[in-house]
Amino acid sequence: MKIALVGNQNSGKTTLFNLLTGTNQKIGNWPGVTIERKIGKIKDLGDDLVDLPGIYSLSPYTIEEEVSRKFVLEEKPDMIINIVDSTSIERSLYLTTQLMELNTKVIIVLNMADRLEAKGIHIDKKKLAREIGTDVVIISALKGTGINELKDLINKNRGKKVINQEIFQSDIENQILQIESLYGVNRFVAVKILENDKMYQNYQTGQVKNSRQRLEEIYKMDIEEIIANARYDYIVNIKNRVITIKVVKESTSDKLDKIFLNKFVAFPMFIAIMFLVYYLSVGVVGSNAVDWISDIIDNFGQMVENILVSMGASDWSVSLVVDGIIAGCGAVLGFVPQLIILFLCISILETTGYMSRVTFLLDKLFKKFGLSGETLVPFIVGLRM
């Protein structure tokens, strides 16, 4: 069997992949892109396992999403192992709802089991399996627990028929079912056709357009929003029924999150911190360093000039060396100290985790311009120039 390993970034895909395949791996790149592609054979079972790029949805917005989407749609794996960080299930299940529409057997692997207790999280695995309509196993890829149970599930699900879950409201379901039977496509593609996805433009008949218009009128929203909302409603509903969280002592990281991600505090604080970074690098260090270095360069230039003149060099060659080379390099060198301080500040913000928090915060804002929150760093660097 060909099995695909699909999940968010940092959900533990590579850790599980290594655990299941051992040294039996082939590493290369996906065709046309520099994203690592790993294939291996699962020990004891002999099935092929493919490690897909980390993604949050099957939309084709990023290269990773495109590669994964293409693989699951075109190469049609026999089974999908959907690995989920069990400490943040809500964020991960969006992808799960899409994977479960592919007519391919999906096994949900809740990873990071070793961290659940400390966070006071209890997941009712059986209930989740029942609600979501597929098998669920809780593992720790790091500690190696639950792996035999996972292998048993793979065996148990060999060649099993897939039963689609109807997760949308009935009026949306009806339209999806119609498109499915009209074109003989799977649910995922039917939803994409309904969503007017770029990849499926030749399916946009009058009937499809009418269906979409009708739904948009009823829900007073754009079709993509209707579908996304329906998925989230479904997820929240399931989450509330299968997860219980005991109040545990708030970790320092949670407390910091509360401050840094607070609606009212976050932006002013962000601006203040960025101002401080700017002030330190460009203001304090910057202006002093430029003066200080230009003094040194001036003195050095003067010294070279004296030597050259005493050696009887011509005016133009003195000017070339002193005003051209030395002054030119000096002008660039003047910026080096402030760049060092700037990058020092940014790396401090990065190692303390502030950057990732802010990135998360800014993601929404940046998305409006078609950028991701990660664009922040070049923004700051660009600002100071």
Q: What are the structure tokens assigned to 35, written together?
A: 């994203």
Residues in 92-111 that interact with ligand GDP by CB under 6 A:
111
**Min dist. Cβ of residue 29 to Mg ion (A):** 14
Return the residue of 3, 11, 12, 14 that touches Mg ion, per CB under 5 A: 14
Binding site partner of 375, from Mg ion, ligand GDP, none, Cβ cut-off 5-8 A by kind = none
Report, in Å, the least distance between residue 332 CB and ligand GDP.
39
The contact pattern for ligand GDP, residues 26-55, with x = CB under 6 A and - = no contact, is ----------------------------x-
Q: How many CB atoms lie within 10 A of CB 347?
A: 11
Of ligand GDP, Mg ion, none, which one sits near residue 111, judging by CB under 5 to 8 A according to partner kind? ligand GDP
Residue 10 sits in the site that holds ligand GDP (CB under 6 A):
yes
115 binds, among ligand GDP, Mg ion, none (CB under 5 to 8 A by kind): ligand GDP
Show the 3-state SS of the chain. CEEEEEECCCCCHHHHHHHHHCCCEEEEECCCCCCEEEEEECCCCCCEEEECCCCCCCCCCCHHHHHHHHHHHHHCCCEEEEEEEHHHHHHHHHHHHHHCCCCCEEEEEEECHHHCCCCCEEECHHHHHHHHCCCEEECECCCCECHHHHHHHHHHCCCCCCCCCCCCCHHHHHHHHHHHHHHCCCHHHHHHHHCCCHHHHHHCCHHHHHHHHHHHHHHCCCHHHHHHHHHHHHHHHHHHHHEEECCCCCCHHHHHHHHHCCHHHHHHHHHHHHHHHHHHHHHHHHHHHHHHHHHHHHHHHHHHHHHHHHCCCCHHHHHHHHHHHHHHHHHHHCCHHHHHHHHHHHHHHHHCCHHHHHHHHHHHHHHCCCCCHHHHHHHHHHHHC
Minimum CB distance to Mg ion smaller for 13 or for 69:
13
CA–CA distance, 239 with 128 (Å, rounded to integer)? 8
146 touches ligand GDP by CB under 6 A: no
- Judged by CB under 6 A, the chain residues 53 through 92 that form the site for ligand GDP are 54
Which range touches ligand GDP (CB under 6 A), out of 5-13, 146-154, 158-166, 377-385?
Answer: 5-13
Question: d(Cα 49, Cα 87) in Å, to the nearest integer?
Answer: 25
Interface with Mg ion (CB under 5 A), residue total 2
Indicate which of Mg ion, ligand GDP, none lies near residue 190 (CB less than 5 to 8 Å, by partner kind). Answer: none
Judged by CB under 6 A, the residue of 3, 4, 6, 12 near ligand GDP is 12
Stretch that binds Mg ion, among 11-19, 276-284, 310-318, 363-371 (CB under 5 A): 11-19
| 192 makes contact with ligand GDP (CB under 6 A) | no
Q: Which is nearer to Mg ion, 14 or 157 (CB)?
A: 14
Q: Judged by CB, which is closer to ligand GDP: 116, or 223?
A: 116
Task: List the interface residues with ligand GDP, window 112-141 (CB under 6 A).
Answer: 112, 114-115, 140-141
262 is a contact residue toward ligand GDP (CB under 6 A): no
Residues that bind Mg ion (CB under 5 A): 13-14
Residues that bind ligand GDP (CB under 6 A): 7, 9-15, 54, 111-112, 114-115, 140-142
